[in-house]
């Protein structure tokens, strides 16, 4: 079993976890951003080859932490600041034959107070098992006043061809189409012939992504009330400078999220949200 430790990826410090079965995880200290999860001999996350690794910009792909604000739903920069600041390893990793775990920490500091006056501590825990990745975010309000936030684990899943992908499990859930500003109800499995940007009330059971012969099971905690499904499509994808021309065809974002209503965390309180990805 490989011993994790600081290394460089695209010139920035990163930590890796590996299991004897060959499963492997790589997380950047910049933004606590997971950029690779290899399971069953296949990369399961999409990372754009045009991503900027300058230590300041958000990285396109992997699993960005969009906290403590989703998109532009508030006064903070788009998708907040968690993904743009350096995190620190919270102790050594746990290493076992069937489990590897690493936690990272972001406490309130002068850098966070430049965006947000709130006192807090955030912890991201990554748990790698054969065929499975569990990403857990804990947010502790260390302030004397309530903390309000939205956000998402903005997971970019790698797919062979978006035109052939199907997502099951959201049938019957309340749906908001951000492209048309229409509210409705999801019907049947989701397919992605063009740009797609919708927010769903989270389903009570797991979702299943069908990508050719591959199946990926997607679960999320009750701490996230919503699931966001997004693909920019060919036209909008071509407008994104950090995405190649065919990038949209090889990714689908399925995000554990809190979008419509902010979570109110009382002084001294702790919130937890997670997403589990499992090769089916």
Position 243 pLDDT exceeds 50: yes
**In the prediction, which pLDDT does 43 show?**
98
The answer to whether the beta carbons of residues 101 and 132 sit under 8 Å apart is no
Active site residue 255: yes
Percent of the chain with pLDDT over 70: 98
**In the prediction, which pLDDT does 2 show?**
44
CATH number of the domain at 7-279, out of 3.30.70.20, 3.40.50.720, 2.70.98.10, 3.40.50.2000? Answer: 2.70.98.10
Q: Which residues of 101-110 are buried (b: 16+ CB within 10 A; e: fewer)?
A: bbbbbbebee
The neighbour count for residue 98, using CB atoms within 10 Å, is: 10
pLDDT tier at 5 (50, 70, 90 boundaries)?
low
Position 3 pLDDT exceeds 60: no
- Give the mean pLDDT of 33-43: 98
DSSP for the chain, written as a single string: -PPP--EEETTEEEEEEE-TTS-EEEEESBTT-EEEEEETTEE-B-B-TT---SSSSPPSBSB-EEBSS-TTSSSSSTTBSGGGSB-EE-SPPEEETTEEEEEEEEE--HHHHTT----EEEEEEEEEETTEEEEEEEEEE-SSS-EEEEEEE--EEE-S-GGG-EEES-TT-EEEETTTTEEEE--SSB--SS-EEEEEEPPSS-EEEEETTEEEEEEE-TT--EEEEEE-HHHHHTT-TTS-TTGGGGEEEEEEEEEEEEEEE-TT-EEEEEEEEEE-
Please give the model's pTM, rounded to 2 decimal places. Answer: 0.96
Catalytic residue among 30, 33, 79, 154: 154
- Give the mean pLDDT of 55-73: 95
Using one digit for the tens of pLDDT, what is the confidence trace for 116-166?
A: 999 999 999 999 999 999 999 999 999 999 999 999 999 999 999 999 999
Mean pLDDT taken over the chain: 96
The burial of 167, by beta-carbon neighbours within 10 Å (0-12 exposed, 13-18 middle, 19 or more buried), is given as buried
**In the prediction, which pLDDT does 73 show?**
85
The burial of 243, by beta-carbon neighbours within 10 Å (0-12 exposed, 13-18 middle, 19 or more buried), is given as buried
| Placement of tokens 């990272």 in the chain | 104
- Give the mean pLDDT of 91-95: 93
- End-to-end alpha-carbon separation of the chain, Å? 24
Distance between CA 178 and CA 158 in Å, rounded?
A: 23
pLDDT tier at 76 (50, 70, 90 boundaries)?
very high
- Give the mean pLDDT of 65-79: 93
Position 1 pLDDT exceeds 60: no
**Dihedral, 247, 251, 256, 260 alpha carbons, nearest 10:** 50
């Amino acid at each position: 079993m490989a011993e994790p430790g600081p290394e460089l990826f695209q010139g920035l410090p990163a930590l890796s976890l590996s299991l004897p079965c060959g499963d492997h995880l790589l997380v950047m200290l910049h933004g606590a951003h997971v950029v690779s999860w290899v399971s069953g001999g296949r990369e399961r996350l999409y990372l754009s080859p045009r991503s900027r690794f300058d230590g300041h910009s958000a990285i396109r792909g992997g699993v960005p932490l969009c906290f403590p604000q989703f998109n532009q739903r508030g006064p903070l920069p788009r998708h907040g600041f968690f993904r743009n600041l350096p995190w620190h390893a919270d102790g050594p990793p746990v290493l076992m034959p069937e489990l590897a775990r690493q936690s990272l920490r972001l406490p309130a500091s002068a850098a966070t107070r430049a965006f947000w006056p709130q006192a807090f501590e955030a912890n991201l825990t990554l748990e790698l098992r054969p065929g499975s990745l569990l990403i857990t975010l804990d947010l502790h309000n260390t302030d004397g006043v309530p903390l309000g936030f939205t956000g998402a684990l903005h997971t970019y899943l790698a797919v062979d061809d978006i035109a052939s992908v199907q997502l099951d499990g959201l049938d019957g859930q309340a749906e908001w189409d951000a492209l048309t500003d229409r509210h409705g109800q999801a019907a049947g499995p989701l397919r992605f012939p063009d740009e797609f940007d919708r927010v769903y009330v989270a389903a009570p059971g797991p979702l299943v992504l069908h990508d050719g012969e591959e199946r990926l099971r997607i679960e999320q905690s009750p701490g996230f009330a919503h699931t966001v499904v997004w693909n920019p499509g060919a036209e909008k994808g071509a407008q994104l400078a950090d995405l190649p021309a065919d990038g949209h065809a090889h990714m689908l974002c399925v995000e554990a999220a809190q979008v419509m209503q902010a979570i109110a965390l009382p002084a001294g309180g702790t919130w937890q949200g997670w997403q589990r990805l499992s090769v089916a």
